[in-house]
């Protein structure tokens, strides 16, 4: 009887994991775009797909073992020392974040995630949905050919997947994107010259980016390969990345962060039913996670007295509340991450030094991303976001520093609608037109959660229309192929609105 019950429980878990979204009647996209696919043009922009958090496979370059992206009880034992050491980034006193490297390298995006559990094989599509859509539109993906999934014959690649180490500083990933784009640009230029006889064609890319990938792309567009200045200095927006990009599609991107990320950094996180719980000290080693925290000016965190916390990126506040790396109860994990340090006090001291570094960097990053700026013509930005799911919005501290969600808002269950939009309207002025540092060309809201947005037929249809058919409006007074840059222009703000980039307070 117990065996029968156990089998039933496993079956229910599998059905829950593999359950599809509500059934929709999909459009005949093959019929819509068949002529475009058959008539290849050198003037169609190739596409770069950028995954989000946890969306790239990580491999130990010495052993070849997959440490993230291939899951099962025998592959990743829950809660072991190796699990934590493999996924955490080094925390080295006396070195900058950029200089701290481990032996993990990326090995492609997770187009599909495969799970092995008690002999059952489960598969969940992640970015395969986007690749399927792009394939319908005639885009030929490099990774799919190199992995032996598709054979395009002698036709050249027009779709590329940018895998990056999602644990590391987002600015570092944006700088790697710059190198990636320039290499692919040279490749496409050579192919166009060989096939069409057009020399030095000015190749531009379209980027489709999910979640954190949108932050990587947006930083790249604004600053190219340029690093951040110190806190206290306002960075100069050059739009250097727009030299190589015409269109950016952001899908569920937390442009103003996510409260879920704060909860994960404080309490730890379990990515899935069959995956281990990653404790705060492991997650706290990753700079990118702090760079996706919500903005203090929007009051996402209330203290014990229900008053807004002025600066959630203040290291002193984390130390006072014993959050994340500053939590003495994380010493059993720190002992694994700092094997050469022999006392709990010294380990906590080293962890707090790292905490200060990543919070300092997060303040630099959010400052740079929140400066209002008009993009150069003809760069366009499309947002696809969910707004039908209850999404955590506000948390309150108790006397022990623990967090409780006290308010939700519309979103995709992970990213608030307001965060995706970069909505800077304040609590006392909710009825004005949108105020955002991002000038959107088009916004599409869907009744989908964070994971299922790319499965929605409306996303499928509109993505291909945006990339293949929609017109680029001419900028008055500008030639259609000339880029015009206007930066650091703040939208009109309501009276009494005070906006301070560097202090994260208002």
Is 504 among the domain residues?
Answer: no
Beta bridge mates, 386? 446
Q: How far is CA 229 from CA 32, 236, 355, in A?
A: 47, 9, 19
Is 505 among the domain residues?
Answer: no
Is 11 among the domain residues?
Answer: no
d(C-alpha 285, C-alpha 90), whole Å: 7
Amino acid 82: pLDDT = 82
What DSSP assignment string belongs to 367-381?
HHHTS--EEEET-EE
Amino acid 460: pLDDT = 86
Is 304 among the domain residues?
Answer: yes
Amino acid 24: pLDDT = 54
Amino acid 3: pLDDT = 40
d(C-alpha 280, C-alpha 284), whole Å: 6
d(C-alpha 340, C-alpha 350), whole Å: 11
Amino acid 110: pLDDT = 82
Is 33 among the domain residues?
Answer: no
Amino acid 251: pLDDT = 96
- pTM, entire model: 0.87
Is 495 among the domain residues?
Answer: no
CB 293 within 8 A of CB 383: no
CB 423 within 8 A of CB 436: yes
Domain CATH for 389 = 3.40.50.1820
Relative orientation angle of helices 29-38 and 457-468, to the nearest 10 degrees: 30
Amino acid 400: pLDDT = 85
Q: Which residue has the tokens 């291939």?
A: 70
Is 348 among the domain residues?
Answer: yes
The closest of 151, 165, 216, 159 to 187, measured between CA atoms, is: 159
Q: How far apart are the first and last CA of the chain?
A: 62
Running along the chain, 506 residues long, what does each successive block of 10 average in pLDDT? 37 38 57 69 92 92 87 51 89 94 91 50 64 88 83 86 97 98 96 92 96 97 95 91 97 97 94 80 98 96 96 97 96 95 96 98 96 94 96 94 95 96 80 89 94 89 89 47 41 32 30
Instruction: Count structural domains, the chain.
Output: 1
Parent domain of 423: 47-486
Amino acid 113: pLDDT = 55
Is 291 among the domain residues?
Answer: yes
């Amino acid at each position: 009887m117990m065996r029968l019950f156990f089998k039933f429980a496993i079956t229910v878990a599998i059905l829950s994991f593999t359950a599809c979204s509500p059934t929709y009647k999909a459009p005949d996209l093959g019929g819509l775009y068949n002529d475009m696919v058959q008539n290849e043009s050198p003037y169609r922009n190739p596409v770069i797909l950028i995954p989000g958090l946890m969306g790239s496979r990580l491999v130990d370059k010495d052993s070849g073992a997959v440490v993230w992206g291939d899951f099962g009880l025998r592959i990743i034992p829950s809660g072991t020392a190796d699990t934590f050491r493999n996924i955490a980034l080094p925390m080295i006193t006396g070195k900058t974040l950029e200089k701290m490297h481990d032996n993990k390298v990326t090995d492609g995006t997770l187009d599909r995630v495969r799970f092995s559990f008690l002999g059952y094989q489960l598969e969940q599509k992640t970015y395969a949905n986007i690749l399927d859509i792009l394939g319908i539109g005639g885009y030929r993906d490099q990774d799919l050919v190199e992995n032996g999934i598709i054979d395009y014959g002698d036709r050249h690649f027009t779709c590329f997947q940018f895998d990056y180490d999602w644990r590391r500083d987002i600015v570092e990933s944006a700088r790697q994107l710059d190198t990636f784009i320039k290499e692919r640009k040279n490749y496409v230029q050579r192919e166009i010259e060989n096939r069409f006889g057009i020399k030095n064609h000015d190749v531009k890319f379209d980027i489709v980016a999910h979640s954190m990938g949108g932050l990587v792309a947006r930083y790249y567009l604004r600053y190219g390969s340029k690093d951040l200045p110190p806190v206290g200095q306002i960075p100069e927006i050059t739009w250097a990345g727009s030299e190589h990009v015409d269109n950016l599609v952001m899908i569920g991107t937390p442009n103003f962060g996510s409260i879920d990320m704060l909860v994960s950094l404080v309490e730890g996180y379990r990515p899935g039913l069959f995956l281990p719980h990653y404790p705060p000290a492991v997650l706290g080693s990753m700079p990118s996670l702090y760079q996706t925290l919500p903005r203090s000016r929007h009051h996402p965190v209330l203290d014990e007295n229900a008053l807004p916390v002025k600066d959630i990126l203040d290291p002193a506040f984390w130390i006072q509340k014993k959050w994340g790396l500053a939590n003495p109860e994380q010493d059993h994990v720190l002992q694994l991450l700092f094997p050469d340090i022999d006392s709990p006090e010294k380990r906590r001291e080293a962890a707090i030094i790292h905490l200060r570094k990543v919070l300092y960097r997060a303040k630099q990053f959010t400052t740079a991303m929140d400066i209002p700026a008009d993009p150069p013509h003809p760069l366009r930005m499309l947002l696809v976001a969910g707004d039908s799911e209850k999404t955590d919005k506000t948390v309150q501290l108790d006397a022990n520093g623990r967090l409780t969600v006290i308010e939700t808002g519309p979103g995709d269950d992970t990213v608030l609608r307001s965060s995706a939009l970069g909505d800077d309207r304040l609590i006392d002025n909710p009825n004005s037109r949108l105020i955002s540092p991002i000038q959107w060309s088009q916004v599409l809201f869907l009744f989908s959660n964070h994971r299922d947005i790319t499965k929605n037929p409306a996303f499928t249809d509109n993505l291909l229309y945006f990339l293949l058919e929609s017109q680029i409006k001419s900028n008055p007074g500008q030639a259609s192929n000339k880029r015009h840059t206007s930066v650091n222009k703040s939208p009109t703000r309501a009276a009494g609105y005070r906006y301070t980039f560097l202090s994260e307070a208002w």
